[in-house]
Amino acid sequence: MLRELTIKNVAVIEELAVTFVPGLNVLTGETGAGKSILIDALQLVLGARGSETLLRSGAEEATVEAAFEAGRGSRALDILEAEGIGVEPGEFLVLRRQLFRDGRTKAYASGRLTSATTLRALAECLVDIHGQHPGQPLLDPRRHRELLDAYAGTSEDARAYRERFVQWQTLRREREALLLAERERAQRQDLLEFQRREIEAARLTAGEEETLAAEQAILNNHERLFSAVEQAYLALEESDGAILERLAAIAARVREAASIDQRLREVLEALETGGVHVGEAARGLRDYRGRIEFDPERLNVIETRLHEIGKLKRKYGGSAAEVLDHLERVRQDLAGLERSGARLAEVDTALAETQRDLTGRAGRLSVARGRAAPKLQEAILAEIRELGMARAAFEVRVTSAPPGEAGLGPHGKDEVEFLISPNPGEELKPLHKIGSGGELSRTMLAIRVILAAADQTPTLVFDEVDAGIGGGTAEIVGRKLVAASRQHQVLCVTHLPQIACFADHHVTVAKRTMRDRTQTTVQPLEGAERAQELARMLGGPSRSTTPLLHATELLEAATRLKKRMKNP
């Protein structure tokens, strides 16, 4: 629910913050004081289109911030989580919107930059605003079907139908893909078989290319290799003054010295060990030299094999490993093509079964909707007539949806729409074509009272709900608002004391002039202040005590009535 609304530089509002509570919140004040501006500001922070006309004169930007209490399991939190925006347990969900002089806007959710689209998605989960305002959710016929299902007790059946419908669509897409694959299968299978045979015939093994390349390098450089080994061997052992001979002579001299001074024993051991290693190196070079030979036939075989591997790489991958990976994919694709015929039969069976199930579910939903629609229609009509529209007509119209595949749509076979004729002689029209903001607000209130438990939107806002009604009807409207506030937080802008007296939280909006500038202020009212405001709304002479007594009586009567409604 909405806990606080902070506004800066919107119309005649320089800066103010207003808090709200659970239950019924009422905003009152003189005409033109700025009550509806608060609703406009709330709409702005909920993603409505921004207009520079909302900016306070002389200001370059306006800011609106709304703090919501969103409980665990709220769809709003799921929307934010999908965008990577988290709200810590116990913290408010804070939405903020900035409007600039050039018409640009910025949107924030819990301190993170987001989009107006996201704010509008969040608004659908948080607030419904009713009055002379565009974009009201209840004006959307898609909501009407949901509300009828809730009233009929078929919401869970409708959800299960939608899930099954998604499965059916998935199967249909798979079948289309399989049919396409079937037409192309023979041609693709020939291509894959050719690739498989070509790669398998090469008998390519992992690491083979590297091994062959190393052997090719040896054969191509055998003369340089022989010369280097020969010279190294001669220097170690065969030439005049060979290193082994000189090392032996050095060791003999150190041995003679070590027989005199034992401290040279370690030096002698190092020389003798070095001599052993050098001797081993010389023998290794001699043996290697003896094995070096040039085999032109082997070189030709290697070059032919590397050329064959190169051709495969150019066709199937940048390395031998990638060629082998491609071979594995080819084998898998061939196996899949072989299974596609069997899978097509499985999908056809599943599709037929799912379609039969969907048809049955859709039929049962249609029957339930058809039975519930007249009852819901009469219940809403009774509420509308109580709210001062005594000669109105209302219809919950259930019609066949445009036929889709097999006559099934994502919500069954039905379209649902609420229609109204506020006055005798007028034809029934969709709700969004009601011209009067007051009539629309009262119609929405009637719907909310009947469907209070079914609708999960936590906060309802009613603007102009009292337009064109008198005191008797106003009291009925007040009682309906109290009833709605048992299931939702309700905000109501009103000019009538017979409605305002029912408030759980009463805020007055006033205009004042300071330094030749008009400013709007808000003030919560308690006790005697509430009675004074109701007396002002009653419009009696300023010196008379009668309006104040009447206001006190209204508050006492409202308190008694609310207690009875709470504990019938």
Residue 145 has, within 13 A of its CA and on its CB side, a CA count of: 19
- Give the strands of the sheet with 24-28, arranged side by side: 127-130, 459-463, 489-493, 24-28, 505-514, 517-525
pLDDT at 402: 75
CB 473 within 8 A of CB 15: no
3-class secondary structure for 13-77?
Answer: EEEEEEECCCCEEEEECCCCCCHHHHHHHHHHHCCCCCCHHHECCCCCEEEEEEEECCCCCCHHH
Residues with Cβ within 8 Å of residue 138, at least 6 apart in sequence:
128, 130, 144, 431, 444, 447
pLDDT at 406: 62
Task: Please tell me the distance from the alpha carbon of residue 93 to that of residue 2, in angstroms, as a whole number.
Answer: 9
State the sign of the Cα–Cα–Cα–Cα dihedral 256, 258, 264, 269.
positive
pLDDT at 133: 52
pLDDT at 543: 57
Q: For residue 112, what are its two tokens? A: 């993170």
pLDDT at 374: 94
pLDDT at 342: 75
Residues with Cβ within 8 Å of residue 350, at least 6 apart in sequence:
171
Q: What is the pLDDT along the chain (568 residues), one digit of tens a residue?
A: 999 999 999 988 889 999 999 999 999 988 877 888 898 899 999 998 888 888 888 888 999 999 999 877 788 888 888 888 888 888 899 999 999 988 899 999 998 999 999 999 998 889 988 765 555 667 778 888 988 998 898 989 999 999 999 999 999 888 888 777 666 776 777 788 888 888 888 888 888 778 888 878 878 888 888 888 888 888 888 787 788 888 888 888 888 888 888 888 888 888 888 888 988 888 888 888 877 777 788 888 888 888 888 888 888 877 888 888 888 888 888 877 776 667 788 888 999 999 999 999 999 999 999 999 999 999 999 888 888 788 889 999 998 877 666 678 888 888 999 998 888 878 898 887 775 667 777 888 888 788 876 777 889 988 877 777 777 788 888 888 898 888 899 999 998 999 999 999 999 998 887 777 778 889 999 989 999 999 998 886 655 678 889 989 999 999 898 888 776 6
Classify residue 259 as exposed, middle or buried by CB count within 10 Å of its CB (0-12, 13-18, 19+).
exposed
Task: Please tell me the distance from the alpha carbon of residue 72 to that of residue 559, in angstroms, as a whole number.
Answer: 32
Task: Please tell me the distance from the alpha carbon of residue 330 to that of residue 22, in angstroms, as a whole number.
Answer: 65
pLDDT at 453: 66
Overall size of the chain counted in residues: 568
pLDDT at 511: 85
Beta bridge partners of 394: 420
pLDDT at 502: 94
CA nearest 538: which of 482, 499, 502, 512?
499
